[in-house]
């Protein structure tokens, strides 16, 4: 404990350098946490059980939801297939098909099917209000927080306006970035008359259904028309929709490693400068009976404390920012949430700890090997 007090006093004695090093480490770990949070969101999206238990039927050779138009009566035909539990017709409207940090996605779904197909709970508003008013919508809490939407507001995007009947939360973070409205309302929105067609069909399968067999049968049925389909599992469909964006998210992993390298270099440089400045001080410690290993431990503790302080600051600010901002990134009406979590905090702090210890090894070894007499004579 006495040594810890000595370490803190030593760092505070060069407070400008200490604060700059802590700030630099905090910035690097802040960026690292942001990168990891979007990768966490991508992993969460892929691992969801519902993504493996349903199919998405989309128009073949189409990409953006605005270009897909399937006959709505396909749902009744597909419902007759063995292994199919339910079919949900969905009309999709989005303000941007390209990658965006503020994409708004509307899903038009029959209300009675929505209630059974999605696992979310109302935190504000009234389900009956949504069911009985065709221009009503329910909004995920993430997009509501990002856009400042409250129950009773009229929310408009482009030529589309809805009355907000409720705000919901879900155990799926990506789900909280969607706005659900009535199917017919989206089909009849201003400037469009899409009654009788839908963007896609979501096929809910029975637990023992053969996913590949059902998807192949659907595509075979409509290969000759009237509109050819492309049927994939929900997880594969989402990954395909995200396309290049998912690759960029994966490549961001290397940027995260670069942030760790930056912390390592920054803390190592600062600690080495501190050792050089205090070479006489360390020699005095040796004359007072401190062994080389104790001096090694003191210097290692300094570098670890510097890195850990930066980690606590950077990780803490990152988690608070992520929680308050409800950020997500989307493409082609599929969103990936930035997910702050205790796991992410643990990884960030562990990296700060390990990096601090790694950065201090060389300076600590240098300090512990210093010759006492030449060090005391040095000016």
**Helix and strand tally (H, E) in the chain?**
15, 14
Name the least confident of 4-8, 180-184, 251-255: 4-8
* Residue 196 CA: distances (Å) to CA of 75, 81, 90, 113: 11, 21, 11, 17
What is the pLDDT, as a whole number, of residue 361? 86
Q: If DSSP codes are grouped into helix, strand and coil, which group holds residue 189?
A: coil
3-state secondary structure 246-267: HHHHHHHHHHHHHHHHHHHHHH
* 178 and 144 Cβ atoms separated by less than 8 Å: no
What is the pLDDT, as a whole number, of residue 338? 86
- Residues in Cβ contact with 355 at an 8 Å cutoff, skipping those fewer than 6 apart: 260, 263, 264, 267, 307
Query: In this predicted model, which residue has the larger pLDDT, 368 or 146?
Result: 146
- Residues in Cβ contact with 81 at an 8 Å cutoff, skipping those fewer than 6 apart: 214, 217, 218
Q: Assess whether pLDDT exceeds 60 at residue 304.
A: yes
* Residue 291 CA: distances (Å) to CA of 195, 214, 298, 302, 369: 84, 73, 11, 17, 10
Gyration radius (Cα) of the chain, Å: 29
Q: Assess whether pLDDT exceeds 80 at residue 315.
A: yes
Q: Assess whether pLDDT exceeds 80 at residue 151.
A: yes
Which sequence spans correspond to the domains of the chain? 1-46+242-377, 62-227
What is the pLDDT, as a whole number, of residue 174? 81
Give tens-digit pLDDT for 191-214.
667 788 899 999 988 888 888 888
What percent of the chain lies above the pLDDT cut of 90? 20
What is the pLDDT, as a whole number, of residue 30? 92
What is the pLDDT, as a whole number, of residue 296? 80
Distance, CA of 366 to CA of 348 (rounded, Å)? 28
- Residues in Cβ contact with 358 at an 8 Å cutoff, skipping those fewer than 6 apart: 264
Total length of the chain: 379
With tokens 């138009």, the residue in question is 69
| Mean pLDDT over the full length of the chain | 83
What b/e sequence results for 78-110 when a residue is b if at least 16 CB atoms lie within 10 Å of its CB, and e otherwise? Answer: beebeebebbbbbbbbbebbeebeebbbbbbbe
What is the pLDDT, as a whole number, of residue 154? 92
What is the pLDDT, as a whole number, of residue 311? 92
Give tens-digit pLDDT for 70-125.
999 999 999 998 888 889 999 998 887 777 777 888 999 998 888 888 878 888 88
Q: What are the DSSP calls for 10-56, one per residue? A: HHHHTHHHHHHHHHHHHHHHHHHHHHHHHHHHHHHHHH-HHHHSEEE
Which structure tokens are listed for 149? 């939407």
What is the pLDDT, as a whole number, of residue 234? 81
Which structure tokens are listed for 234? 């929900």
Q: Assess whether pLDDT exceeds 80 at residue 48.
A: no
Give tens-digit pLDDT for 317-353.
999 998 888 888 777 777 888 888 888 899 999 999 9
Q: Assess whether pLDDT exceeds 90 at residue 167.
A: yes
Q: Assess whether pLDDT exceeds 90 at residue 175.
A: no
What percent of the chain lies above the pLDDT cut of 70? 88
User: Where is mean pLDDT largest: 49-58, 150-159, 275-284?
Assistant: 150-159
Q: Assess whether pLDDT exceeds 90 at residue 137.
A: yes
């Amino acid at each position: 404990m006495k040594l810890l007090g000595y370490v803190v006093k030593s760092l505070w004695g060069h407070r400008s350098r200490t604060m700059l090093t802590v700030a630099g480490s905090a910035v690097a770990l802040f960026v690292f946490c942001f990168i990891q949070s979007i990768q966490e969101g991508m992993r969460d999206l892929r691992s969801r059980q519902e993504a493996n238990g349903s199919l998405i039927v989309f128009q073949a050779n189409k990409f953006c939801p605005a270009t897909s138009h399937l006959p709505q009566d396909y749902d009744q035909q597909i419902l007759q297939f063995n292994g199919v539990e339910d079919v949900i017709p969905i009309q999709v409207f989005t303000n941007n098909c390209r990658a965006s940090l503020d994409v708004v996605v509307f899903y038009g779904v029959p209300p009675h099917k929505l209630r059974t197909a999605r696992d979310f709970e109302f935190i504000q508003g009234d389900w009956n209000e949504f069911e009985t008013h065709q221009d009503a919508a329910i909004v995920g809490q993430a997009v509501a927080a990002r856009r400042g939407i409250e129950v009773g507001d009229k929310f408009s995007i482009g030529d589309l306006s809805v009355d907000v009947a409720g705000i919901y939360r879900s155990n799926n973070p990506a789900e909280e970035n969607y706005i659900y409205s009535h199917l017919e309302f989206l089909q009849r929105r201003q400037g469009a008359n899409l009654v009788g067609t839908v963007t896609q069909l979501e096929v809910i399968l029975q637990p023992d259904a053969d996913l590949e067999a059902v998807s192949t049968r659907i595509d075979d049925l409509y290969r000759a028309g009237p509109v050819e389909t492309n049927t994939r599992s929900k997880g594969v469909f989402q990954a395909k929709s995200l396309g290049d964006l998912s690759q960029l998210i994966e490549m961001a992993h290397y940027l995260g490693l670069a942030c760790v390298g930056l912390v390592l270099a920054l803390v190592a440089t600062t600690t080495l400068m501190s050792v050089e400045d205090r070479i006489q001080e360390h020699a005095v410690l040796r004359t007072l009976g401190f062994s080389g290993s104790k001096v090694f431990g003191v210097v290692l503790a300094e570098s670890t404390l510097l890195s850990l302080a930066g980690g606590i600051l950077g990780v803490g600010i990152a988690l608070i920012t992520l929680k308050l901002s409800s950020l997500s990134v989307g493409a082609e009406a599929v969103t990936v949430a930035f997910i702050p979590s205790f796991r992410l905090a643990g990884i960030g702090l562990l990296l700060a700890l390990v990096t601090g210890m790694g950065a201090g090894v060389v300076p600590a070894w240098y300090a512990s090997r210093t010759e006492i007499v030449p060090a005391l004579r040095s000016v």
